[in-house]
Amino acid sequence: MSGKRKKSTARKTAGKAGRSAARRARKNWKGFSPAFITQLLLMVYDMIVVNAAYILALWLRFDCHFERIRRLYLNAWRGFTPYYTIICLTVFIALRLYRSIWRFASYAELSRIIVSSMITGSAHIILITIFFTRMPLTYYFFGALLQFLAIAAVRFSYRIVLLLLEARRMRSGQVKRVMIVGAGEAGRMILRDITHAGEIHERVVCMIDDDPAKRGKYVDGIRIAGGRNRIPDEAKTHRVDKIYLAIPSISAEDRKDIINIASRTSCEIKQLPGMYQMISGEVSVKDMKDVSVEDLLGREPIHADLSKVFEMINGKVVMVTGGGGSIGSELCRQIAEHSPRQLIIFDIYENSAYDIQLELREKYPDLDLVVLIGSVRDSRKIFQVFEEYRPHIVYHAAAHKHVPLMEDSPCEAVKNNAMGTYKTAYAAMVNGCERFVLISTDKAVRPTNIMGASKRLCEMIIQSFDYKIKRGRAADMPQLFTHMGVENADKDGTGSVFRQARTEFVAVRFGNVLGSNGSVIPVFKKQIEQGGPVTVTHPDIIRYFMTIPEAVSLVLTAGTYARGGEIFVLDMGSPVRIADLARNLIRLSGFKPDVDIMIEYTGLRPGEKLYEEKLMAEEGLARTENELIHIGKPIPFDIDVFLTQLGDLMNAAYRNDSDIRQQVAKVVTTYTPEDSYIPRSGGH
């Protein structure tokens, strides 16, 4: 019974397969592809016109009177027609006249038509003369000429109609006019992609290249108008809508210069991301990306060698405080790539912590990830975390960083930044942490605001811990938080926890990072979206900038050089004028600064400097293996006096003393507070 069912099933399957194949065959027979139908129609057309051209030439030879044509000539033409038809079709097929895409017909297709006409015309002269009779000279000449015109006309007419329609769409604004900067291989590929892609409603109207040998020449019919300085004039002359930068191998400085020049126009600007498309030979319009503000930094992207970072982090328990913030979250991403035994994210803000948790669990499903909500100001919580997880390495990124907000609430800056750092560092020391890396800022150098001064306090705290540990006096570090309920760290009373302290405390100082929370770029973009104005505090204010991934990779690298007590300083490149950054961002958004989007200068905010310094002049610089990472020589200060002052500062901060700035200035001697400052919100 089972065998019969199997045979029946097999017959049904075979029957279905046969019927399906028959349906496909009928479908293929009835539903020819458009390309096949076009080829077939062209062949039928050619069979007619190659012979009609010669009878027309004969008719013209006898003054357009058919009855005057000698029967000898008519018989010769009629007899040679089938042979000539076969000859023409063979030559046309051999020269791929039925394989070209005639909507993109160009010089190559025209040259093949000319060659085919010469071959078939010569064959006609020789064969009809030898095997039939000698025809009039005008028959040979006009026949070949008319055949060429008829063959070319039907093929190029499609192209001409499309060009006319495209010109009409361009006049109506439906087709964007494109300028390509770069007449090299990438530029040619972009040009051909635009030309051949029917779904792209664009047309290249001119090209730009700095090579003097290329100027005035043509690439596929498009003139190379000149060098980069011609961009604004040519954009105006050709009414350009888009500018494509197609020089993947260009240096960062030249890229910045070209983008700045192109930004003077109102055109949309796009560029190729890099060389990988050239290597694969796949350059197209879809590879073009918007020009980012990072391209205006005028330097090559920083690529740090993270091999030593892997050696340091691999198999270790790593903790990141403030792990949900801009710098902290990127630290978590790059640490997760280097196979830690466990990654602990500690943050007070649950939304950002949740976002990075979801991202890392999706990207690294095997990562042992712990996300904890808490504050570095909470002594009990921070001790509990260190006692339970025993992290080997801590990156301390938790901090209040907004200058104007901290000017309104200076006591909060001291509580969170300075005291939070002290509590976290103390917990790290007594719980056997190997390395503690503080994320600092260039605003700690000769600070004029309480945020920068509080970060300088953090650096001094790190230096104090290092000093005491190296001299075997870790027990001298005061437990500034005993009144908050934390038990004595030396639980057994022997002092062993302090004698065994070996934590290496270091700080890494850098400037502003592009795109971080609260940085100028997101603010400027939001203001532009709202139609302006874009607010800049001062026309001459400058800042050092680095991308978040660049800064974090250098922070991780600097951590590998730690021996304890260092302040690492990252090379941020040349400073950028904020007003220029705002203008370029307005141009990149397709608007004209001070015309479409106004720029307003609001004046320096309380505690804000015209420029930031990466290092105090007294500190000096020492080199590391990485030319982008330097070590500042710490400024000496009396550690014991500082620790006493720190206790007084803590008490003042928790009392919310109104003169907290003056008290900080006594500790951070390079801090110059504004004595006349009045908080806008009345807070501290």
- Out of 136-145, 368-377, 431-440, pick the least confident: 136-145
Residue 419 has a pLDDT of 95
Angle at which helices 34-61 and 137-171 cross, to 10° = 130
* Domains assigned to the chain: 34-167 (no CATH), 175-291 (3.40.50.720), 307-485+496-513+545-573+617-667 (3.40.50.720)
Residue 24 has a pLDDT of 46
- The model's pLDDT over 325-350, given as tens digits with 9 standing for 90+, comes to 989 999 999 999 989 999 999 999 99
Is the C-alpha dihedral spanning 167, 170, 176, 180 positive or negative? positive
Average pLDDT on 499-525 reads: 79
Assess contact for 225 and 206: CB atoms under 8 A.
yes
- The model's pLDDT over 24-37, given as tens digits with 9 standing for 90+, comes to 444 444 555 666 77
Give the residue with greater pLDDT, 433 vs 611: 433
Q: Residue 283: pLDDT above 80?
A: no
Amino acid at 119: I
Residue 359 has a pLDDT of 95
Indicate the burial class of 17 (C-beta count within 10 angstroms; 0-12, 13-18, 19 or more). exposed
Three-state secondary-structure class, residue 105: coil
Q: Residue 22: pLDDT above 90?
A: no
Token readout for 252 is: 């960062």
- How does residue 675 score in pLDDT terms, banded at 50, 70 and 90? low
Between CA 402 and CA 473 the distance in angstroms is 35
Three-state secondary-structure class, residue 372: strand
Between CA 391 and CA 315 the distance in angstroms is 11
Residue 645 has a pLDDT of 93
State the CB neighbour count (10 A cutoff) for residue 346. 29
Token readout for 231 is: 């961009």
Assess contact for 438 and 505: CB atoms under 8 A.
yes
- Out of 241-245, 247-251, 670-674, pick the least confident: 247-251
- Out of 67-76, 87-96, 284-293, 632-641, pick the least confident: 284-293
Give the residue with greater pLDDT, 629 vs 418: 418
Assess contact for 374 and 352: CB atoms under 8 A.
no
Indicate the burial class of 116 (C-beta count within 10 angstroms; 0-12, 13-18, 19 or more). buried
- How does residue 504 score in pLDDT terms, banded at 50, 70 and 90? very high
- How does residue 514 score in pLDDT terms, banded at 50, 70 and 90? confident
Between CA 54 and CA 148 the distance in angstroms is 11
Between CA 623 and CA 328 the distance in angstroms is 26
Three-state secondary-structure class, residue 229: helix
Indicate the burial class of 514 (C-beta count within 10 angstroms; 0-12, 13-18, 19 or more). buried
Give the percent of the chain with pLDDT over 90. Answer: 26
232, 238, 242, 247 alpha-carbon torsion, rounded to 10°: -70
Q: Residue 674: pLDDT above 80?
A: no
